[in-house]
Amino acid sequence: MWLRLLPADTERKMYWWGFPGIGLGASNEFLSMFLLYYYNQILGLSAALAGLALFVSVVFDAISDPVIAYWSDRYQGKHGRRIPFMFMGIVPMCFCCFALFVLQLGESQWILFGQLTVLIVVFRVSQTVFFVPRMALGVELYKGYSERNRLISVNQTCALAGISLCMAPILLLMPDWDQAHLYPWAALWVTFLLGWSAYSGTSKLSAAEINSIEMNRTGQTTQFSLRQLFEELASLVSNRNWMTLLFAFLFFTINGGLQGGDTIYFNNHLFKFNPSDLFWSGPLMVGGSLLAALVTWRIAKGRDKRVMVLIAGGISFVSSPLLIGLMAVDHYSGYDFVPDAGGGLLSSLWWLWAFHGFINGAIFVFFIIIVQSMFADVVEEHQELTGSRSDGLVLVGSNLVTKLVGSVGVLLAGFMIKWAGFDEANTLALKEVAVYKLAVVKVLVSFVLVPAGLLCLARYSLNEEQHRTNLRNLGYEKDI
């Protein structure tokens, strides 16, 4: 059905480009939701150490991302520039996704910390090897101002399909969050989705990339040079639009990581929902995100991207922390703004929570599609300024901060969880005290991060007319 809602002129290769989003969306959601909880509450690793391990992976990302991106920009082979990297990343990415929930090399804190650190670093670097060249290939194939909104919409639709396929059986079959023996089976299912979608999409895209290279070599060179890499990085750092997006996306995605890294803690001790309650909320929770993925390209057509993300970010500033904020007010002041927790499926709180998720999911997906499209538009601006086309290098900022959702955000969430008292809370009463402390600090943090991101976005200046001018100057008239 969603295929018919996309424009008729969308080519089949756009769908195959988006297809790996099924596995990427599934694995990112699974790790964001379960990884910290599994190592902290199931294996017994300190939340702070678990968060630190995820932060270490970001340090490796910061080094590997631009190198891999620029290498794929400059690589030339008989199978294209991007496809060899994408194939190379699939196996280690899948292995580590599975091993994170199967291996337990020991029970001491430092052994668990070392295990988590090594596996998540290899997973993130492998994900970079696959994800960055794939994003660069999509931006290279589709250059139009509105066309890129469609491209990212297809990717988000596939990612949401992957999240649904991933989470539905897990939530349906898991009776509660502490079933240690079920996590490896869940990881196996997620790994299958990741490997199947990544291999299928990459195989189908191989011919499309080779044809694209033969048709257009504007601004492309065949040599990888560290000196030139640093020169182009310096050029990007001096590009106001790129830096504006980088910092804005950083603030928003760290906030998103804080919202996702402690999901199970809130489900378990604040809302008091079990996995089956979450399963039946799926159509509403995912429905808002899917609706946004399907209609964003229509809403955005002919409109200024900066204005749209500022509006979406402003709405999110109010709506995102509203529910847990009101529950914290009820707890500390004695008011009854929100229905009591513990009613489970179809209770008043369940309906309120599901509708809140519908709204927030729609806003977030709308926001992420437009911001990623804005990042893509900087590719031609950078090429116009430097004479070098480096899709991967320009987009690496988007990739890095996207992974901050599962890394830096979870690092901060880990320290917040430890500060709230979950590491020492050994009774349900103590965990309830801790979860309300966590709710208060989360609301306060969002009141800082979201306005900071909006202030950065307000400085973005690249509009449709400027993008069209860049395309004309670079000889891409057919893409206007």
Tell me what pLDDT residue 476 has. Answer: 77
Q: How far apart are CA 76 and CA 81, in angstroms?
A: 5
Mean pLDDT within 243-269: 77
Instruction: Classify 238 as helix, strand or coil.
Output: coil
* Model confidence at 459: pLDDT above 90: yes
Mean pLDDT within 278-295: 86
Q: Residue 479: which pLDDT band, with cuts at 50, 70 and 90? A: low
Q: How far apart are CA 191 and CA 100, in angstroms?
A: 11
Tell me what pLDDT residue 3 has. Answer: 44
- For residues 346-374, one letter each, b for 16 or more C-beta atoms within 10 angstroms of the residue's C-beta and e for the rest, the string is ebebbeebbebbbbbbbbbbbbbbbbbbb
| pLDDT tens-digit readout, 360-372 | 889 989 998 998 8
Where is pLDDT greater, at 405 or 306? 306
Residue for token digits 């991007």?
82
Q: How far apart are CA 283 and CA 266, in angstroms?
A: 20
**Quick one: tokens of 229?**
């890499």
Q: How far apart are CA 35 and CA 40, in angstroms?
A: 8
Where is pLDDT greater, at 338 or 98? 98
Contact in structure between 354 and 284 (CB atoms under 8 Å): yes
Q: How far apart are CA 45 and CA 51, in angstroms?
A: 10
Tell me what pLDDT residue 404 has. Answer: 59
Q: Using alpha carbons, list the distances in angstroms from residue 291 to 73, 116, 287, 360, 430.
A: 34, 36, 6, 12, 39
* Model confidence at 147: pLDDT above 50: yes
| pLDDT tens-digit readout, 211-246 | 555 445 554 555 666 777 788 788 888 889 999 988
Tell me what pLDDT residue 18 has. Answer: 92
**Highest-scoring range by mean pLDDT, 165-169, 255-259, 275-279:** 165-169
Any idea how long the chain is? Answer: 480
Query: Whose CA is closest to 370, among 287, 297, 285?
Result: 297
Tell me what pLDDT residue 194 has. Answer: 96
E strands, 31-177, are none
| pLDDT tens-digit readout, 11-57 | 778 889 999 999 999 999 899 888 888 998 889 898 788 878 887 88
Query: Whose CA is closest to 33, among 259, 250, 284?
Result: 259
**Quick one: tokens of 375?**
């990042």
**Which residue segments constitute the domains of the chain, with CATH numbers given?**
2-211+234-479 (1.20.1250.20)
Backbone angles phi, psi at 321, to 5 degrees: -90, 5
Where is pLDDT greater, at 318 or 390? 318
Tell me what pLDDT residue 220 has. Answer: 53
Tell me what pLDDT residue 117 has. Answer: 94
Angle, alpha carbons 95-96-102 (nearest 5°): 90
**Quick one: tokens of 50?**
């678990």
Q: How far apart are CA 306 and CA 466, in angstroms?
A: 13
| pLDDT tens-digit readout, 52-82 | 888 788 778 777 888 888 888 887 777 677 8
At residue 279, what is the residue type?
F
* Model confidence at 108: pLDDT above 70: yes
- DSSP secondary structure letter of residue 376: H
**Quick one: tokens of 459?**
């400085």
Query: Whose CA is closest to 309, among 242, 364, 243?
Result: 364
pTM score? 0.80
* Model confidence at 111: pLDDT above 90: yes
Residue 159, number of CB atoms within 10 A of its CB: 24
Tell me what pLDDT residue 2 has. Answer: 43
Output the 3-class SS for 180-236.
HHHHHHHHHHHHHHHHHHHHHHHHHHHHHHHHHHHHCCCCCCCCCCHHHHHHHHHHH
Q: Residue 9: which pLDDT band, with cuts at 50, 70 and 90? A: very low
Contact in structure between 390 and 177 (CB atoms under 8 Å): no
Tell me what pLDDT residue 191 has. Answer: 96
